[in-house]
């Protein structure tokens, strides 16, 4: 088997197939990624911690212990280079959470999501940069498509590393828009699972009710590999998807014969969308219209309040989750984070409970939409990644879906006026992540003009 030095552009799905066929080795794949890291990391600054020698030892052990191609869930990520956002505990790398407060912290165990990925054969290469305590104050990472622009946040390093070919896959989290927004700005696929589907043990908490563990890949199928491992649900894998990506209705609708039903949900915040997102939306409708049944989704009037509610719920829960930092390390927090935690601490628990009750009532109304729509199409961001590195961009178009706890996938497919990536997100019914993946695979191909 000849060595390969140009493997880093591979998508995780393709790399997994080639590894399984023994066309490439885990070590060769990793060395190509490490070469890319050596070339680009000084500019992109995606990593908070990196251990190339330990990763090479993992890859060699995988190659030495390979007994032949496997298709079981236990080996789904075998040999794939992986990064973990620097709020995930790792037994062999520090976890600083993007804050000087936790600099040099050395956990004794892996976060559950990291342990699951390692058990599935992933090679952990390093920890990726996060914004301060997974909030809005940016870290040093730059957008790989244009170094003067933000990569988004708070999962900035994970999105940038996957986009730039440094990693096949990377773990991240979302509370407001921290998976979907950086994926949009960096031009990769992000998977935000249904809330509660992936264990959060060993991950620095921001919001007890909204935090979700997910990740990044360069295709829907690559994200499906990671998603199947994180959720333990084999229905997320392409082998389980119906041919047309549509789901069954309770009344017996046949998945094999159905036309995909896409609900159009630009949301009440659509007037704030910039020209690049508006053009992407129009382009999507032109491409999807002949292939799917696209109809307006009748979002309930209460939906208009969800973005503001999400901010209040996040502030209250962050003030409690970060109570030690807020009370004992206040002077080492950035001013924006101090302000957020002060705001959240001032929200009484009874008002927080009322906010959550309002969100649950709206969630029931939104859930009813899936009787008529297989998935919902929605904006991901206001537009292209903004210039500058001090801010990570506005998560406006993600807030409501995060509050509702629904699964979503960002699908990159076009460019804005200045040439930076733009895409849209597809949103599924809570708990039906597998149906979301099946639909997204078809929709992404249609959006990119591949089918």
Catalytic residue list: 85, 154, 178
Q: Tell me which H or E stretch contains 247.
A: none
**Whole-angstrom distance, CA of residue 161 vs CA of residue 164:** 5
**Cis omega before residue 154 (within 30°)?**
yes
Q: Between the CA of residue 160 and those of 21, 33, 45, 58, 393, what are the distances in Å?
A: 29, 13, 9, 23, 15
- List the 293-296 sheet strands across, edge first: 47-50, 123-128, 81-85, 169-174, 212-217, 189-192, 408-415, 421-427, 375-379, 261-264, 293-296
> Looking up tokens 């620097």, which residue turns up?
86
- Tell me the two tokens of residue 226: 């990671």
Cβ–Cβ under 8 Å, residues 204 and 96: no
CB atoms within 10 A of CB 143: 28
**Cis omega before residue 401 (within 30°)?**
no
- Tell me the two tokens of residue 363: 């969630």
Q: Between the CA of residue 116 and those of 74, 86, 205, 281, what are the distances in Å?
A: 9, 17, 19, 36
Cβ–Cβ under 8 Å, residues 397 and 177: yes
**Whole-angstrom distance, CA of residue 324 vs CA of residue 99:** 13
- Tell me the two tokens of residue 227: 């998603």
How far is Cα of residue 368 from the mean position of the Cα atoms in its chain? Answer: 25
> Strand, coil or helix: what is 388?
strand
DSSP 102: G
Burial class (CB in 10 A: 0-12, 13-18, 19+), 4: middle
Q: Between the CA of residue 304 and those of 249, 278, 372, 399, what are the distances in Å?
A: 28, 19, 21, 11
């Amino acid at each position: 088997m000849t060595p390969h030095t140009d493997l880093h552009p591979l998508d995780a799905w393709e790399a997994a197939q080639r590894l399984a066929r023994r066309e490439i080795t885990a070590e060769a794949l990793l060395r190509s990624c490490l070469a890319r890291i050596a070339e680009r990391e000084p500019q992109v600054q995606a990593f908070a911690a990196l251990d190339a020698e330990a990763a090479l030892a993992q890859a060699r052990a995988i190659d030495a212990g390979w007994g032949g191609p496997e298709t079981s869930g236990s080996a789904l990520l075998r040999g794939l280079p992986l990064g973990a956002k620097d709020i995930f505990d790792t037994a062999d790398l520090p976890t600083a959470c993007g804050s000087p407060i936790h600099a040099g912290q050395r956990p004794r165990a892996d976060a559950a999501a990291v342990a699951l990925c390692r058990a599935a054969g992933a090679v952990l290469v390093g920890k990726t940069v996060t914004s301060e305590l997974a909030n809005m104050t940016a870290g040093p990472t730059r957008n790989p498509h244009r170094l003067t622009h933000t990569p988004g946040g708070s999962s900035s390093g994970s999105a940038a590393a996957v986009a730039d070919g440094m990693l096949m896959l990377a773990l991240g989290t979302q509370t407001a828009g921290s998976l979907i927004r950086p994926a949009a700005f960096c031009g990769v696929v992000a998977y935000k699972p249904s809330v509660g589907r992936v264990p959060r043990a060993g991950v620095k908490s921001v919001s007890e009710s909204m935090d979700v563990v997910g990740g990044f890949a360069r295709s829907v199928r690559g994200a499906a590999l990671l998603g199947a491992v994180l959720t333990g649900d084999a229905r997320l894998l392409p082998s389980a998807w119906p041919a047309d990506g549509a789901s069954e209705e309770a009344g017996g609708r046949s998945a094999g014969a159905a036309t995909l039903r896409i609900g159009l949900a630009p949301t009440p915040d659509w007037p704030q969308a910039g020209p690049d997102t508006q053009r992407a939306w129009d382009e999507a409708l032109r491409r999807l219209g002949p292939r799917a049944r696209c109809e307006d989704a009748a979002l309930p009037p209460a939906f208009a309040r969800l973005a503001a509610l999400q901010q209040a719920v996040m502030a209250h829960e962050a003030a409690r989750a970060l109570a030690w930092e807020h009370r004992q390390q206040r002077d080492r927090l950035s001013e924006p984070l101090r302000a957020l935690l002060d705001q959240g601490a001032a929200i009484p628990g009874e008002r927080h409970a009322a906010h959550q009750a309002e969100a649950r009532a709206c969630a029931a109304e939104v859930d009813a939409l899936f009787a008529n729509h297989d998935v919902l199409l929605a904006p991901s961001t206001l537009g292209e990644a903004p210039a500058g590195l001090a801010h990570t961009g506005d998560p406006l178009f993600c807030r409501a879906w995060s509050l509702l706890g629904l699964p979503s996938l960002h699908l990159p497919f076009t460019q804005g006026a200045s040439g930076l990536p733009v895409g849209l997100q597809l949103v599924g019914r809570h708990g039906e992540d597998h149906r979301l993946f099946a639909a997204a695979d078809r929709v992404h191909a249609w959006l990119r003009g591949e089918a």
